[in-house]
Structure 1
């Protein structure tokens, strides 16, 4: 279990501040909710929950509907524009499934315009990025092994790396500059790799292994050939001492500063750290793989627009999108979200950019009467320029039920209380031991002052409800227990009048909270 990433107090943008001023009065005010025909007591119970003291001064946008018919069962401030955080990923996932298709794959190629003479390739070798958000060092190893298997032993030209499928803007609009070293805010590139099968692209994994008390810890990096340098050191503390180790990249470099200490009895600790210029890092890892297989290459250089016109020597295809959305939604992977937005732009308009991709997303939503007043600045929800309402999310959830890709979408949502990493995901430690366990399939979202949940819940009669709860502008205790209690009530759990408002069960003490500080995802 990795140590907690420190939370920061982020100042809202002008757009967020304006939205706050326009949001209706805080929950509990007269006339701020409406209900349609609903199960007996549901509206009253939800009113009690939304009057919880933890919501004092906060704003909540809530809507609950029958996902098959769209019939509204409860709503409160359903049109209020709120910061969605990672719940925005359901919009990105639905758009990608609709516009790219569940079978869409990302292809990485090795190309050349050179001439082969026996074991010598006369010319440049080009590693061409296809936007694959799941590319691993083992995939590059397989490409190198294939080239060596054709008999190539020497490349007289350069190893060029081509990341031109997407534009050169690495960070999303409204992303915090001081998040850049942390793995939930990676640079986005059409040529990038991840250190493991959770696909935190554009990062390396730094493993810190304690030694004898007082001595320096062992430091290793994955991928091993990644061109990062370490400054400072982490020491080994006495058994039972505080964990204070940090590995933080210096901005604009691939130097990683090491500080703090690890208890001698802690065991290896992993830190995921972003890299600067992921395409160059990927090329370095590929070059090392070529050399391991006996293929000599010269210097590396970024390719120009014409370098990739040659023939294909080797290629790697990603898993289909229907499979990639599982780690994307289960683990709330920010990097995958942004690749999907840029890929949508590239495939639909020929421009792999946030602007082009988000225009296509808006067109898809507008065509299906799902757009309305909203603002989307990225695909992950990391930007504080994003604004959505509960009504828009719930409408998307009901729309999705009628689509051919619904089964893949539903399977990819985190499942409440399921401890399996690729099933429970960000809900693995929530609502365990309640009627909502296994019945809530929903996307979480959290950042400073924001907590949200949107998805589906099976009620006591077996009916599948679509629900959204967005809470913004809280500064005190987290309202998450209130959000969980709403989901539990929808699943047929005890009414708050009997159990006491705001007494929602908390997560298991040993659970890893993937969106809250531990391997934090906003």
Structure 2
């Protein structure tokens, strides 16, 4: 077999020779090569850094490659490696516990000593489940605690954000703090957030009515919103728990998520409310400390399994679930990544040629190649947890972050892939079933793309073309030159799609 490499032709007895400058393109399928070349040569990608590789999912043979060995920012495609390594390290049956403990003794209905609430990082804990722990304590006969309420979140270190995360993402639900004691107010497990509800007042011009769920004494709302036509803005002040609500509305808006400063403190407030609701009095103060050795478990809660959690993590590209896996592996971001890296070689990734500092891909310090990403897909097929993991990937035109993409094409239902989005970065990596029933893997990573064009059009065109292989392919879709922005314009206009975030992060899919 022969391969074209930057205009030169070399013989390859086995495998594919890659070059540091540009990569190699297989020519055993000239029509596919021509179409993929055309997609990547579109004017919208001038000046961008794009890597693409297509391989046989069963043999690993390279079908097409272009600069695929070069490291790039891969955004949420990193979750492929994080979840696969965590499944290998922790096992799909791993579960997180939240417990009430005490080293004290019972005297009738009084617990003589401290009551300890200890978390191990369960990102799915909710107000109702913390309330259930308080109810279990009441049902055991306890109505008074003579000592203090001790909050133990020492299973994780105190660093709330991954290295290199952007400070201006802080208020948004996709950039919440990671804590061993946290709370999710919604079914998508948006850990470290609260729900903010806004509805109009009794008459035009009256203050809008703002409520926060769950009720707590940590978040302070500054409400200047009024009743009338307009829109509502909800912003949390940097480094604080002050949430400012402004604007105007004539109708109740859809609940919006806001991150909180110090999720452990939020949990403390919510749990104290639960104790009071159950008639349990705590005589002492509240403090944060590790549970004493040998403390007895009075009540406990257990999360769903890691294998079950992988689905909302990958389908919705949930950053906070991914970061919990890192800290569960090693308490801190740094040590957690080191622990997970012990499983990378078994997933086809050389730890010495990648740079990874978090679990979600939010950091721009992460550097991984498309070649590495497809190696993960191929190696995963031999793992006992593969069926669960593959089923957790978004499906084109069906669900997750691909629910609105590639509908009514050959890729719909036949492409299972992980999306990735940051400003100037977009990626799509996954499996594709072709029309001639061949299983392929692919990874396309785009860096340095302009903010005013759709990199997802490039990705979708590639995935659709691969799905059409073995049939009659449609003409490749070439992305046009981006429209010029006006001076200073950075954000999309109203009604325009955003390409700098995952659609699930802003409830757009």
- Which TM class, normalised by the smaller chain length? 0.7 to 0.9
- Cα deviations across residues 237-296 of structure 1 (Å, max 9, x unaligned)? 33xx4x2x222222332221112223x25x432221111111121011111111111111
Q: What is the aligned counterpart of 1:202 among 192, 196, 216?
A: 192
User: Structure 1 pair 258/517, CA: closer, same or farther in 2 (3 Å)?
Assistant: farther
Rounded Cα–Cα distance in structure 1 between residues aligned with 2:386 and 2:155 = 29
Gaps of 5+ in 2: 1-5, 7-20, 481-494
Aligned to 1:75, the other structure's residue is in SS state strand
Indicate conservation of the 8 Å contact 1:36/1:74, yes or no: yes
Indicate conservation of the 8 Å contact 1:358/1:378, yes or no: yes
Q: What is the aligned counterpart of 2:336 among 352, 357, 380?
A: 357
Gaps of 5+ in 1: 1-23, 25-30, 346-351, 419-423, 504-508
Indicate conservation of the 8 Å contact 1:202/1:275, yes or no: yes
Residue 223 of structure 1 deviates from its aligned partner by 1.1
Aligned to 2:218, the other structure's residue is in SS state coil
**Which residue number in structure 2 is paired with residue 389 of structure 1?**
369
User: Structure 1 pair 353/176, CA: closer, same or farther in 2 (3 Å)?
Assistant: same
Rounded Cα–Cα distance in structure 1 between residues aligned with 2:220 and 2:284 = 19
Aligned to 2:502, the other structure's residue is in SS state coil
Rounded Cα–Cα distance in structure 2 between residues aligned with 1:500 and 1:149 = 64
Rounded Cα–Cα distance in structure 1 between residues aligned with 2:135 and 2:272 = 12
**Which residue number in structure 1 is paired with residue 475 of structure 2?**
498
Q: What is the aligned counterpart of 2:280 among 282, 295, 299?
A: 295
Q: What is the aligned counterpart of 2:302 among 293, 307, 317?
A: 317
Q: Which stretches of structure 1, 4 residues or longer, exceed 6 Å deviation after superposition?
A: 493-497, 509-514
User: Structure 1 pair 134/440, CA: closer, same or farther in 2 (3 Å)?
Assistant: same
Q: What is the aligned counterpart of 1:128 among 118, 140, 144?
A: 118
- Cα deviations across residues 387-442 of structure 1 (Å, max 9, x unaligned)? 11100000010000111110110111111111xxxxx1111111111111111111
Aligned to 1:470, the other structure's residue is in SS state strand
Rounded Cα–Cα distance in structure 2 between residues aligned with 1:38 and 1:337 = 39
Whether 1:57 aligns to 2:47 is: yes
Indicate conservation of the 8 Å contact 2:432/2:441, yes or no: yes
Q: What is the aligned counterpart of 2:265 among 264, 280, 292?
A: 280
Residue 37 of structure 1 deviates from its aligned partner by 6.2
Rounded Cα–Cα distance in structure 2 between residues aligned with 1:233 and 1:478 = 36
- Cα deviations across residues 119-169 of structure 1 (Å, max 9, x unaligned)? 111111000011111111111111111111011111111111100001111
Please say which structure displays the higher CA radius of gyration.
Answer: 2
User: Structure 1 pair 295/515, CA: closer, same or farther in 2 (3 Å)?
Assistant: same
Rounded Cα–Cα distance in structure 2 between residues aligned with 1:130 and 1:161 = 12
**Which residue number in structure 1 is paired with residue 406 of structure 2?**
431
Rounded Cα–Cα distance in structure 1 between residues aligned with 2:63 and 2:217 = 53
Aligned residue-pair number: 471
Whether 1:416 aligns to 2:393 is: no
Rounded Cα–Cα distance in structure 2 between residues aligned with 1:368 and 1:451 = 23
**Which residue number in structure 2 is paired with residue 9 of structure 1?**
none
User: Structure 1 pair 56/510, CA: closer, same or farther in 2 (3 Å)?
Assistant: closer
TM-score relative to the length of structure 1: 0.85
Rounded Cα–Cα distance in structure 2 between residues aligned with 1:512 and 1:176 = 18
Q: What is the aligned counterpart of 1:220 among 206, 211, 217?
A: 211
TM-score relative to the length of structure 2: 0.87
- Cα deviations across residues 73-130 of structure 1 (Å, max 9, x unaligned)? 1110011111111111111000111100000000010000111111111111000011
Aligned to 1:484, the other structure's residue is in SS state helix
Rounded Cα–Cα distance in structure 2 between residues aligned with 1:375 and 1:39 = 34
User: Structure 1 pair 382/275, CA: closer, same or farther in 2 (3 Å)?
Assistant: same
User: Structure 1 pair 299/47, CA: closer, same or farther in 2 (3 Å)?
Assistant: farther
**Which residue number in structure 2 is paired with residue 15 of structure 1?**
none
**Which residue number in structure 2 is paired with residue 374 of structure 1?**
354
User: Structure 1 pair 500/128, CA: closer, same or farther in 2 (3 Å)?
Assistant: closer
Indicate conservation of the 8 Å contact 2:461/2:477, yes or no: no
- Cα deviations across residues 425-481 of structure 1 (Å, max 9, x unaligned)? 111111111111111111110010011111111111222211101000012412211
Q: What is the aligned counterpart of 1:179 among 165, 169, 172?
A: 169
User: Structure 1 pair 370/407, CA: closer, same or farther in 2 (3 Å)?
Assistant: same
**Which residue number in structure 1 is paired with residue 96 of structure 2?**
106
Rounded Cα–Cα distance in structure 1 between residues aligned with 2:78 and 2:236 = 28
1:257-276 map, 5 Å: 257-262=244-249, 264-265=250-251, 267-276=252-261
User: Structure 1 pair 119/483, CA: closer, same or farther in 2 (3 Å)?
Assistant: same
Rounded Cα–Cα distance in structure 2 between residues aligned with 1:300 and 1:408 = 45
Residue 520 of structure 1 deviates from its aligned partner by 7.1
Which stretch shows the higher mean deviation, 35-44 or 449-458? Answer: 35-44
Q: What is the aligned counterpart of 1:466 among 435, 438, 441?
A: 441
